[in-house]
């Protein structure tokens, strides 16, 4: 796993790149872009986002934590703080320096007795109450005393293969009231173990953040608390347990960072019987699950991308997949806050292979750092938008935190036939055969519900069952797809919300045979007076149906229920079998109470202000490219060429600036560029600005001018003209292409026109 990680001149921010004067920090509340770093400020990593999230509260050999923070403040950054809640440089706790007791026994431990390590003397933690007390006293308090009012506790992670340590056994006894049970011995033990892991980090964040807010208040500060976390899609796939959606309802949680990047999105998936990487599609689903998690609660969400990843690869690989994940995040126009990168030190100064077939390593190529900085700087300007991705909206796939409860280990267990199932003529022979070796390879029960839609150009959304009690969850939803093949409802109230929506005119599609070994774990549907053999039995009964309706179409109040007695995984594990599923979805979308036609295509397209975002998918309904015509600047090309036609091939993405969308053609403006713009001065016949960006990188900018430039002067901070700088006028777009070597102290561009 990775170690990842202006109120003034607002009109200028909206017209071009965000502008400020000098090194004045953006105002609190306008923290639109951020990056995280464990180092101090230096010229090579001066990213120029609004916020520098300083990682870790420990002192360095030659610099205290407070000095690290101040180094960023001195350069005009708002400073926030981040550290891990499940791992970190907490050796003073584990070795007894803090309280005189050895605590390495609090690491997460596997069945064979091995501690799960994140690094040397850094175990993944069972977050005991004592550890939480240490985090409050030694880290949170120090950070707030340093004047930081935004704290990020990242990656609350408990590995599914963990759960065998003495610390976990103690927590089990306290939580359940009976002795620990080995999770590998039964599905019920696994479910209970993972439910406890989930609860432990829910408690951890609740306690630490509540303390942070209370301590901050005692010092007259309003401390905000955020959770940087992988998506529910990724944690379920990677077999990790985390609180996820439940945190959005805690009053002490102000928001999240969606940690989605090449490393998570390149996890191979099955589709049409083929297992391979599908980075764009996976990223789209990951970002979507994060957006839907917080939409009903209104919590702030930063979307993260990473120009590289944790695993050493080559620069062309990084570039290709960065474009895919970057495009995916922009296709959510309701999100406009971003962590533009983690760990700029490793991005700008790390050595990686120059190609897949070469052992030669080099720092980031200039063409890639230029492109990356163009992309990053557009995020400072990226607007919220009411526009929607092209295609048919209103289809959502239900998710639950319990997706993380039954992914590991695999259990082989036969399911007894109930009298009701016999009377309804269910073919239990085939069910028992599948039950003996039930598996969900590559999280395919989830992808079986989503990829057949996304690959057809349908911008499918996800719906969190934990949010079904919020009215906003149901807005604009026409068809809800769900299955209990890979998750279970943790509360019976969820079924009440779903049934009410269906009876009011919603359409539910239920997929699955209810044959996985977790159907009979000790939970509310079979305890406390309930005796449902499966949780779906309670759902169907709430809908006015029998407990085990067979494949078919059913009327329920004003709405409908479609039951498809096939495991969702079969729709992607078997070649072309998704046609069966898609026929049901199309009927559910196009038949009363719904109206309209389900649009099928091979692309997703969105306009956000002047920005055009497009992706064309392979393995889709067509191999035709998407051709866009207009007047564009290509933001994925470090030369920022002006195009009148852009062709996007299957498997590729495009990111363009639409020159026709310039709002005020009488005013000059930097439309896009590999630096951030400060100190703009606009006069009748001249335009001056200062550009700042990391050292050892090239700047390229497109500057809109009302008329051709008569003179372009480019100087450094000392006023010396840069001999290697240059400019080219493009009359078609009325833009001047400006090039020079970047300087974090600023390069001033003066243009007379």
Task: Tell me the per-residue pLDDT of 618-637, one tens digit each, with 9 for 90 and over.
Answer: 999 999 999 999 999 999 99
Q: What is the topology classification, in CATH, of domain 395-590?
A: Rossmann fold (3.40.50)
List the chain domain ranges. Answer: 31-379, 395-590, 669-752
- Domains 395-590 and 669-752 agree in fold: no
- pLDDT score at 478: 97
Nearest to 201 by CA among 127, 107, 112: 127
Residues 562/564/570/571 CA torsion (nearest 10 deg): -30
Backbone phi, psi, residue 522, to 5°: -70, 105
Burial of 275 (0-12, 13-18, 19+ CB in 10 A): middle
Q: In the prediction, which pLDDT does 411 show?
A: 84
Compute and round to an integer the Cα radius of gyration of the chain: 27
How many helical (H) and strand (E) elements, i.e. helices and strands, does the chain have? 20, 35
Q: Kindly give the parts of the chain with pLDDT less than 70.
A: 1-29, 412-437
Categorise residue 485: left if φ over 0, alpha if ψ from -120 to 50, beta otherwise.
alpha
The CB-based long-range contact list for 213-220 (8 Å cut-off, 24+ gap) reads 213/252, 215/136, 215/140, 215/141, 215/144, 216/144, 216/149, 219/144, 219/145
CATH topology of domain 31-379: TIM Barrel (3.20.20)
Q: What distance in Å separates the CA atoms of residue 719 and residue 747, rounded to the nearest whole number?
A: 9
Angle, in degrees to the nearest 10, between helices 578-590 and 444-454: 60
Architecture of domain 669-752: Sandwich (2.60)
Pick from 340, 327, 338, 339: which is nearest to 389 by CA? 327
Locate the DSSP E strands across 381-473: 395-399, 461-464
Alpha helices in 116-240 (DSSP H): 129-135, 141-145, 166-176, 187-218, 232-238
Which residue, 553, 561, 518, 519, is CA-closest to 536?
519
Query: How distant, in Å, are the alpha carbons of 54, 69, 86, 136 from that of 153?
Result: 12, 17, 9, 12
pTM: 0.94
pLDDT recorded at residue 595? 86
């Amino acid at each position: 796993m990775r170690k990842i990680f202006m109120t003034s001149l607002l009109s200028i921010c909206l017209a071009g790149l965000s502008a400020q004067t000098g090194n004045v920090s953006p105002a609190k509340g306008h923290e639109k872009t951020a990056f995280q770093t464990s180092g101090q400020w230096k010229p090579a990593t001066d990213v120029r986002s609004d916020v520098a999230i300083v990682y870790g509260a420990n002192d360095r050999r030659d610099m205290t934590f407070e000095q690290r923070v101040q180094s960023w403040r001195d350069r005009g950054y708002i400073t926030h703080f981040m550290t891990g809640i499940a791992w970190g440089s907490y050796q003073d706790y584990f070795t007894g320096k803090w309280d005189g007791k050895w605590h390495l026994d609090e690491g997460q431990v596997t069945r064979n007795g091995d501690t799960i390590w994140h690094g040397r003397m850094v175990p993944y933690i069972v977050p005991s109450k004592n550890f939480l007390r240490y985090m409050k006293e030694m880290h949170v308090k120090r950070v707030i005393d340093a004047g930081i009012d935004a704290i990020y506790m990242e990656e609350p992670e408990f590995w599914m293969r963990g759960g065998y340590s003495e610390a976990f056994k103690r927590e089990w006894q306290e939580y359940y009231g009976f002795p620990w049970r080995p999770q590998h011995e039964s599905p019920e033990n696994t479910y209970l173990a993972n439910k406890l892991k989930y609860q432990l980090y829910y408690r951890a964040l609740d306690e630490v953040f509540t303390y942070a807010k209370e301590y901050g208040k005692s010092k007259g500060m309003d401390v905000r608390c955020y959770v940087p976390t992988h998506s529910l899609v990724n944690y379920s796939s990677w077999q990790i347990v985390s609180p996820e959606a439940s945190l959005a309802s805690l009053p002490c949680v102000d928001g999240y960072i969606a940690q989605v990047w090449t490393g998570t999105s390149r996890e191979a998936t099955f589709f049409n019987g083929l297992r391979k990487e599908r980075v764009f599609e996976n990223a789209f689903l990951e970002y979507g699950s994060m957006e839907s998690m917080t939409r009903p609660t209104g919590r702030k969400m930063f979307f993260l991308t990473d120009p590289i990843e944790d695993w050493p690869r080559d620069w062309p690989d990084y570039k290709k997949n960065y474009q895919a994940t970057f495009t995916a995040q922009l296709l959510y126009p309701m999100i406009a806050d971003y962590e533009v990168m983690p760990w700029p030190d490793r991005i700008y100064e790390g050595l990686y292979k120059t190609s897949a077939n070469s052992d030669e390593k080099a720092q980031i190529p200039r063409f890639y750092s230029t492109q990356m900085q163009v992309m990053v700087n557009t995020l400072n300007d990226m607007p919220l938008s009411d526009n929607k991705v092209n295609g048919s909206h209103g289809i959502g796939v239900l998710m639950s935190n319990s997706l993380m409860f039954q992914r590991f280990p695999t259990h082989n267990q036969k399911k007894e036939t109930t009298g009701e199932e016999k009377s309804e003529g269910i073919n239990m022979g085939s069910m028992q055969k599948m039950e003996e070796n039930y598996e969900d390879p590559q999280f395919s029960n989830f992808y079986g519900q989503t990829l057949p839609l996304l690959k057809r150009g349908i911008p499918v959304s996800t719906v969190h069952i934990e949010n079904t009690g919020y009215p906003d969850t149901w807005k604009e939803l026409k068809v809800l797809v769900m299955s209990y093949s890979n998750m279970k409802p943790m509360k019976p109230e969820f079924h009440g919300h779903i049934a009410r929506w269906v009876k009011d005119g919603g359409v539910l599609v239920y997929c699955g045979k209810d044959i996985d070994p977790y159907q009979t774990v000790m939970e509310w549907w079979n305890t406390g007076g309930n005796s449902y053999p499966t949780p779906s039995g309670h759902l169907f009964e709430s809908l006015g149906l029998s407990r085990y309706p067979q494949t078919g179409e059913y009327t329920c109040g004003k709405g409908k229920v479609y039951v498809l007695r096939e495991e969702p995984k079969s729709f992607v594990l078997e070649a072309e079998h998704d046609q069966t599923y898609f026929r049901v979805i199309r009927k559910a979308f196009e038949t009363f109470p719904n109206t309209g036609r389900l649009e099928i295509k091979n692309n997703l397209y969105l306009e956000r202000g002047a920005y055009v975002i497009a992706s064309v998918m392979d393995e889709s309904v067509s191999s035709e490219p998407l051709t866009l015509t207009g007047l564009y600047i290509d933001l994925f090309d470090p030369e920022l060429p002006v195009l009148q036609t852009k062709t996007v091939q299957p498997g590729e993405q495009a990111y363009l600036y639409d020159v026709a969308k310039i709002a005020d053609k009488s005013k000059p403006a930097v439309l896009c560029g590999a630096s951030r713009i400060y100190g703009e001065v606009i006069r009748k016949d001249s335009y001056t600005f200062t550009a700042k960006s990391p050292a050892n990188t090239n700047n390229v900018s497109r500057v809109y001018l009302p008329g051709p430039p008569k003179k372009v002067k480019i100087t450094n901070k000392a006023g010396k003209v840069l001999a290697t700088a240059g400019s080219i006028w493009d009359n078609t777009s009325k833009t001047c292409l400006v090039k020079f070597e970047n300087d974090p102290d600023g390069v001033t561009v003066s243009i007379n026109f």
